[in-house]
Each structure stands twice: as structure tokens, then as C-alpha cells.
Structure 1
Amino acid sequence: MSIYLDVIWFLNFSFDLFLLLLTSIALKRKKMKVRLVVAAFIGSSVVLFMFSPYSVIATNPIGKMVISILMVIVAFGFKKFSYFFQNVLAFYFVTFMVGGGMIGTHFFFQSETNYLDGIFLTNSTGFGHPVSWLFILIGFPTIWLFSKKQIEGVESKKIHHDQIVSVSIRIEQTQFTLKGLIDSGNQLVDPISRSPVMIIDIFKVKEYIPEQLLKQALQDDVMKSISEDDQGHEWEHRVRIIPYRVVGKEHQFLLGLKPDEVTIEMNNETFHVQKTIVGLNRTQLSSEDEYECIVHPKMLQGQSVQNVS
């Protein structure tokens, strides 16, 4: 049997390099290409040890651990113990995640059991035949890309979760509560009063909005719908027209309301906001319903605060 040591080494080198790269992505570490390559070379040296008098290093768990720790130190450095410990755990997590995904996928698509005379028989064909090598060459990049996307998605959701607050809006006798996202990119203000404008999904509160006002807010041309409206409603003195600009379009207008009070609960604190405008947005803000309104960051500045018991 012929063993192509150079091919096996190159595959291990590539795997180690991609695993270290995925670890850096998961931890948001600065990517030093040279250090990653050197670390991957150290990890792939295990293959060479297996065909040398030092094969015990490649087969002994302690030897494997020492090599993996050395890989992490070379790839990311050693600033302090907590930093190093986090790097090692993340590297093992990524390795087990990708490796487990490949093993699970392999056994999902490959049947290695037979039924004979009432007895289940297993037949392990191993990973050495051409089909298995093809599976590794195709499966590893696929699992790696999937893992990368999932890690980035988890990080994005974590950021959103940290910025989600509870928002209560009171207009006269009507009050409703929404999940709000604090968006530092929202700099929309009322051009006259300079009040910060928060955006709410009108479809989430349509049962609280007067019918006539709801029809106006859902029109593409807000200015035209208001000018042509000859029917009044109880909130018409609260209506504000907010100009805004989006990419590719100018002179857009948003229908807004002046509430009596907006209360924001965040991190066991309550913010009472008196000066703000509630913009009625006619498109869905979150496709997964993670939030129902976008909070202006200035609504959390200079307001009265009290602890929530």
C-alpha cells in the first residue's frame, strides 16, 4: 500500500490553518497571516512525527495537547492567562464543532449496517477509500463555511440582544409597549422642535391608531394624503411631518406623532422621555420580530432615571 505523506501533510496543514482562522473570527482576533501559517505548520507536524521514532508525541493525548497549546500561542500570542485560556478553549470548540459536523454528516449519508438472519451486522469501510477522501475535500470547506456563518450570526444576535429595550408609549388614554432596538445610526430629528424621532412598526400598533390616521400613514405620498383628507380625527393636533432621506431617493416624508410620554426600561433603569416624536413606519423593521421599534440614542441622554425595583 502506498502512502502519500506529502498529500496527508498538506491536508492537515490546510485543516489546521482554517481552524485557526475560524477561531480568530469567533474571538474577533486580529489576523496575523504569518503567525497563522507557522502555527498551522506546527500542528501539521504531527503527521511527520507518526512516521518517526517520536510517534508517541502524535498518539499520546498529552503530546497532542502540548502541540495544540503551542499552536494557539504562536497564532495569537500570550498576553495574560485569561486571554490565553480563552484562545485555547475557542480553538478546541471550533475543532470539535467542525469535526463533529463532518463525522455526523458522514454517517448520515453512509449506511454501514446490514441485516442477516435476524442479526444486525456493521461494516466499517474507514476513511481511506476515494469516496471518503472526496467527502473530506468537499465536506470540510462546506462545514467550515457553515460554522463561520453561524458564529457570525450568533455574534450579531448577541449585539442585538444587548441593545433591546422595553418601550412604553402613552398618548392620552392609549398606552402600548414595544420591544425597541437602540440604534446609534438613527439621527432623525424633527426639523422644527429638534426632538429625536423614534421609529415604530405601524402594523404592530395599528389597533391603537385612529383609523383615519392609519390610512394616511400607509399612503406612499404622506403629504398628498394629508392635504386631500377632509376628515379629522382625535389625534390630528399631534401629527408631525418628518422629512428624511434614503439612498437613491430624496424628499421623503414620514408621518409622526407627539406622544405624552415615552418610558424606556433598560438594565434595571427607567428613562422617562418627554420630548420625542414617534414616526410611523409602514415597512417591517425586523423580519424575525426581534424588535418592533428603533430608539433614538438621544432619548437615553439627559433624562430622569430611576431604579426599577
Structure 2
Amino acid sequence: MYYTVPNTTLGVAMHVIYADVVWFINLAMDCVLLVIAGWMAKRPVRWRRIISGGAMGACYSMILFVPVLSPLTTWPGKVVMSMLMVLVAIPVRTLLEYLRVCSLFYFAAFVLAGAALALHFAIPGATLAGGTMALANGVNFVGQLGVFALMIAVPVGVVVIYSAIGWSRRKQNEAGVLYRVRVNFFEKSVEFIGLADTGNRLRDPVSRRPVCLVEARVIAQLLPEDMGQGLVSAPSLSNWLLGLEDNYSRRMTVIPYRSAGGREQWTVALRPDAVTIEQGDHWQQAPPCLLAIQQNPLSVEGEFKAILHTDLLMGDDSLENHSNPPGNQHSVAHTAAPTLDSSSHESGRRCR
């Protein structure tokens, strides 16, 4: 950053650099980067340490005015200084945490620099993109990459980082609510994605087994082809239920429930042979449960096919865990599941 001042004596323009201005700008930028890195790392922000770290970076920028010390401005020197700044400014407990904070510091620096560079080239005109402002008496104020672009880039970069971190944290919080589920019924098996919902308190009034809601197209894959097609195309579950064979009808149960709106309804539930849920790097056997058939899609985006009862995630201690088969990871759905409750009913009806 410098001022261009016409020299009337020599008839040429002179570049006048104000070291104090350069120092304060570097102090402010370094403090902003350290605060952002500390926030992303969820470390306490102590302003005395932040200012101390920023002052180290600002003093380091003064080396540019000392040609003898120019070797210290190489990439290794910049990396060492930035790591020292982080060490002074942000309290850490372990080496791994320190390296993580350093990487977040560099990430914040790249985002802010990218925002400044984008503004530098995106907005035409000498005032912002060139970083030049005409002043009185023929004096030009010039900043590298555009001082004004940098002033705009700081809040823009902070907003971008804040939004990205918020989105990432939401994804991490939601990552624990979607599970891969495998259901065995007679000699067939099917896998699908289930959403664990704390609002699902539905239980069979007779056996007190937890009840999961599963789309009819998934249940159809566990049935013979004609029964499965009949289930998907049936106008109502009652008509489909009357046409089942005895060995299948004995595995069905009528479940009464009350939806979030208070309306009392009923559905047909299937009693599977086994249900296993992928948890981490293994498959865990779920306790005995029922799968209530839902003819309408449970997720608008189609990201899950079932709403799981949270009791299923506790597992069945009497059974051993199974090995984890290969499979793709799935993203989290954003569709809220309805609250279900069976407390208003005392008994269910078995289909024989």
C-alpha cells in the first residue's frame, strides 16, 4: 500500500509507503483470521492472545521493508510464522488439535483471499478493482489487490465461512438419524434407509413391540410377486389383507394409532423374522418389532423409506453383531416425520 505523490521539483511521481498503515491493516486482518479459526475450532477467544498473535503477523509484514531479511518472507518462513501466530493466539490441548486449528486458519485465509480476488476481477472500474482512489492535489491511494475489495471481502468471507460451517454442523448432527436397515421375511431380504425419529412412540398394544413405518413398495419386495403388486396397487389395506394366504396373514397385525393431528387411524403391520441395522462399522440385530405398511411416500425427496422406532437402535443384547457388508453412505433427509402414539388404545386385532 502506498501513496503516489507528484514531485514538482523532479517532475516525477514518488511512491510514499506508510509503514504504520501497513502494520495496522495486517494486524486487523490477522486478528480476523485468528478469530475465525478459533470459532471454527470451537476454542475460546481470548482477545489478549488474539491481539498478540495478530501483532506478531503485523510485525512480520514489516520485514518487507528490510531487504536484508527478505529470505524470511519465503514460503517456509510464512508457514512458520503463521503456525507461531496460531500457537500464541488460540489455546490448544493436543498436537492434533493444534494442527487442526492451523488448517482452519489457512482455510479462512484462502476463503478471504479468494473473496477479495473475486471482487478484484468481478467489479469493473479503477476505484474498486484497481484499488485506486483519486484524491486532492493529484494524490492516488493504491492498495495491492484493492484495499476496498479487501474491505468488502472480509464480511463476505465471514458470511461464507459461517454458512459453510453451519451447514456442515447440521449435516453432522443429522448424520446419526439415517440408518441402513435389512429386513428378513421368510426366504426374502430387503435393504433400505430408515429415519430414526424420537416422535415415533408407536407400539403394538398387545405385544408392546415397537412399530416402524415402512413404505408399501419396500414391504412388497418381501412378498410373492402377486401379493407385492397387489399391495402397491391396492386402494386400501383392508381389501388387500382379505386376499392373503394363511401363512402370510398370520404374520400380519392391525395396529391402531393416533397421528400428530389427533386423528385416530389404523394400519397393517408385518412381523418380520429379523431386522438388522447398520451402526458404524457393524450390523446390529434389532429387538423384535413390527413394520407398519404405509401406502404413501414417507420422504418427499425419497431419501428414506421407513421411520424407525428409537428402541430399535438399542439393539438386542441376546444376539451377536453381524459383519458389515460393503455399501454406499447415504445423506440425511430433511423431511420431518409425524408424531405417532398408540397410548389411546388398549388392544389391537390380530389377523388370522
Query: Residue in 2 aligned with 1:77?
Result: 91
Query: Residue in 2 aligned with 1:20?
Result: 34
Instruction: In structure 1, give the amino acid aligned to 2:168.
Output: V
Candidates 142, 167, 176, aligned match of 2:156: 142
Query: Residue in 2 aligned with 1:296?
Result: 309
Identical aligned pairs, as a percentage?
18
Tell me the matched-pair count: 280
> How far apart, CA to CA, are the structure 1 residues paired with 2:236 and 2:129?
68
Instruction: In structure 1, give the amino acid aligned to 2:322.
Output: N
Q: Is the 8 A contact 1:9 1:48 kept in 2?
A: yes
Q: Is the 8 A contact 1:49 1:55 kept in 2?
A: no
Residues 83, 56 of structure 1: alpha-carbon distance in 2 compared, 3 angstrom cutoff:
same
> How far apart, CA to CA, are the structure 2 residues paired with 1:300 and 1:46?
56
Q: Secondary structure at the match of 1:257?
A: strand
> How far apart, CA to CA, are the structure 2 residues paired with 1:63 and 1:275?
63
Instruction: In structure 1, give the amino acid aligned to 2:202.
Output: V
Query: Residue in 2 aligned with 1:128?
Result: 131
Residues 126, 244 of structure 1: alpha-carbon distance in 2 compared, 3 angstrom cutoff:
closer
Give unmatched runs, 5+ long, in structure 2: 4-15, 134-144, 222-227, 325-352
Instruction: In structure 1, give the amino acid aligned to 2:289.
Output: T
> How far apart, CA to CA, are the structure 2 residues paired with 1:256 and 1:73?
62
When normalised by structure 1's length, the TM-score is 0.66
Tell me how far 1:152 sits from its aligned partner: 3.2
Q: Secondary structure at the match of 1:176?
A: strand
Query: Residue in 1 aligned with 2:271?
Result: 259
**2:60 is the alignment partner of 1:30:** no
> How far apart, CA to CA, are the structure 2 residues paired with 1:82 and 1:187?
40
Q: Secondary structure at the match of 1:262?
A: strand
Q: Deviations over 1:49-71 (max 9, x none)?
A: 35876994884545543442233
Tell me how far 1:253 sits from its aligned partner: 5.3
**2:320 is the alignment partner of 1:305:** yes
Tell me how far 1:178 sits from its aligned partner: 0.7
Q: Secondary structure at the match of 2:179?
A: strand
Tell me how far 1:171 sits from its aligned partner: 5.1
Q: Is the 8 A contact 2:53 2:86 kept in 1?
A: no
Instruction: In structure 1, give the amino acid aligned to 2:254.
Output: V
Candidates 41, 62, 84, aligned match of 1:49: 62
Tell me how far 1:36 sits from its aligned partner: 6.3
**2:89 is the alignment partner of 1:86:** no
Query: Residue in 1 aligned with 2:291?
Result: 278
Residues 238, 17 of structure 1: alpha-carbon distance in 2 compared, 3 angstrom cutoff:
farther
Give unmatched runs, 5+ long, in structure 1: 113-124, 218-225
> How far apart, CA to CA, are the structure 2 residues paired with 1:253 and 1:14?
63
Tell me how far 1:305 sits from its aligned partner: 2.6
> How far apart, CA to CA, are the structure 1 residues paired with 2:20 and 2:234?
70
Q: Deviations over 1:208-242 (max 9, x none)?
A: 5754896558xxxxxxxx7xx89845388423123
Instruction: In structure 1, give the amino acid aligned to 2:321.
Output: Q
